[in-house]
């Protein structure tokens, strides 16, 4: 039997280490990291700390789910942090200054995120601007509008928004609402990617935009859908962040866009498009949350934490590059 035949047989029915690491590398890394931190800090594995990790991961994860749509379709969204802050501020301002009922103010805030995403989509699809430039412009526009609306001051949130950061008591169990929202948005993301026309179109566009266009996919319209979803998920993340603090701040979610993109890449998505999964993004978000939580418990300086996280992001991109070259 030749070496080629052996390789083919192993890839069809045997153990393929490259495939295992390619599809589950982030999950294996999360498990190893968690076990190592548990050994070094026994309190790391306590139920309360694990819930804290879930709460810490929730905002970035929900934001990252929206970015996943964009990256799979071959784009990038640098505006999600600012859009999250703007959406939460508009929701709080609508209730406090305009006197809207809390539920309606919440809807207005979420629609603000959708509107910002649609503007991104219009600039990319019809304006032919590179996604990097279009969303970088929106990053500045949304942050500026947040400051204009708030006059540089935080705004108290109505009960309907504060609920997003509350804790639900089910007998002896206390379930943080951000974790429940995280699970819900994860399921929604998985459904969109695997069970809808738009989800399949995202993979097609990210894999080969011209081929997707020739196959009958309306690339322009689908990009509008992609960026609108990203804006909606960013707005939801903004509501969660404001709910935890019971106030919307003009400088909220600064830098969160980088964490969201990092979570998607760590989870195995390709920055060149066409590859990505909801489960991967969830694992990537948990990796960042576990890393930060563990470093805090080890009393590592916040300055060095940034260095460590930067190295992890660089390694994730390097793995993606090597994987694509191998293919």
CATH number, domain of 130, equals 1.10.3470.10
Q: Is residue 268 one of the residues assigned to a domain?
A: no
In whole angstroms, what is the distance from residue 55 CA to residue 245 CA?
A: 13
What's the predicted TM-score (pTM) here?
0.91
Question: Which tokens hold the place of 104?
Answer: 């309606």
Q: Is 174 part of a structural domain of the chain?
A: yes
**What does each C-alpha distance from 108 to 27, 129, 146, 254 come to in angstroms?**
37, 28, 14, 22
N residues, the chain: 327
User: What average pLDDT is seen over the chain?
Assistant: 89
Confirm whether 170 is domain-assigned: yes
Residues facing residue 173 across a β-bridge: 170
Cα 270 to Cα 75, 194, 212, 263: the distances in Å are: 11, 17, 18, 12
pLDDT number for residue 326: 64
Span 305-327, pLDDT tens digits = 889 888 888 887 787 677 666 65
Query: Does residue 65 lie within any of the structural domains?
Result: yes
Question: Residue 291: what pLDDT?
Answer: 93
**Is residue 52 included in any domain, yes or no?**
yes
C-alpha span between 110 and 166 (Å, rounded): 19
Q: Which of 123, 16, 38 is nearest to 293 (CA)?
A: 38
pLDDT greater than 70 at residue 12: no
Domain presence at residue 322: no
Domain count, the chain: 1
Residue 195: which domain range? 46-256
For residue 247, the SS3 value is strand
The answer to whether 177 and 163 have CB atoms below 8 angstroms apart is yes
SS3 167: strand
95 Cα distance to chain centroid: 27
Is residue 149 within 8 Å of residue 89, measured between CB atoms? Answer: yes
DSSP letter at 157 equals P
pLDDT digits (tens, 9 = 90+) for 98-133: 999 999 999 999 999 999 999 999 999 999 999 999
Q: Which of 19-33, 147-161, 207-221, 273-287 has the lowest mean pLDDT?
A: 19-33
Residue 12 located in a structural domain: no
Q: Which two tokens stand for residue 95?
A: 């209730």
Note whether residue 114 is domain-resident.
yes
For the stretch 236-246, pLDDT in tens is 999 999 999 89
pLDDT band, residue 28 (cuts 50/70/90):
confident
């Amino acid at each position: 039997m030749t070496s080629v035949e052996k390789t083919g047989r192993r890839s069809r029915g045997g153990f393929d280490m490259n495939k295992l690491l390619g599809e589950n590398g982030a999950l294996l890394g999360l498990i190893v990291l968690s076990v190592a931190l548990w050994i070094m800090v026994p309190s790391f594995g306590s139920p309360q700390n694990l819930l804290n990790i879930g709460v810490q991961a929730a905002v970035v994860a929900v934001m990252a789910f929206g970015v996943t749509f964009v990256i799979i379709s071959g784009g990038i969204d640098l505006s999600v942090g600012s859009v999250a802050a703007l959406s939460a501020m508009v929701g709080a301002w609508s209730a406090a200054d305009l006197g809207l009922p809390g539920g309606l103010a919440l809807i207005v805030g979420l629609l603000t995120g959708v509107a910002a995403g649609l503007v991104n989509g219009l600039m990319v699809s019809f304006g032919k601007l590179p996604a990097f430039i279009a969303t970088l412009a929106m990053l500045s526009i949304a942050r500026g509008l947040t400051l204009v609306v708030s006059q540089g001051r935080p705004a108290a949130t109505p009960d309907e928004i504060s609920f997003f950061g509350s804790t639900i008591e089910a007998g002896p169990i206390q379930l943080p609402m951000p974790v429940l929202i995280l699970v819900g948005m994860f399921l929604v993301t998985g459904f969109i990617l695997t069970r809808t026309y738009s989800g399949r179109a995202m993979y097609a566009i990210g894999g080969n935009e011209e081929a997707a266009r020739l196959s009958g996919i309306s690339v322009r319209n689908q990009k509008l859908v992609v960026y609108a979803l990203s804006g909606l998920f960013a707005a939801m993340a903004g509501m969660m962040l404001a709910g935890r603090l019971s106030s919307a701040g003009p400088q909220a979610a600064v830098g969160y866009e980088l964490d969201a993109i990092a979570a998607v890449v760590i989870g195995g998505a390709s920055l060149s498009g066409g590859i990505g999964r909801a489960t991967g993004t969830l694992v990537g978000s948990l990796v960042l949350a576990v890393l930060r939580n563990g470093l805090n418990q080890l009393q590592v300086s916040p300055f060095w934490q940034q260095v460590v996280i930067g190295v992890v992001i660089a390694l994730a991109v390097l793995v993606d590059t090597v994987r694509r070259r191998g293919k």
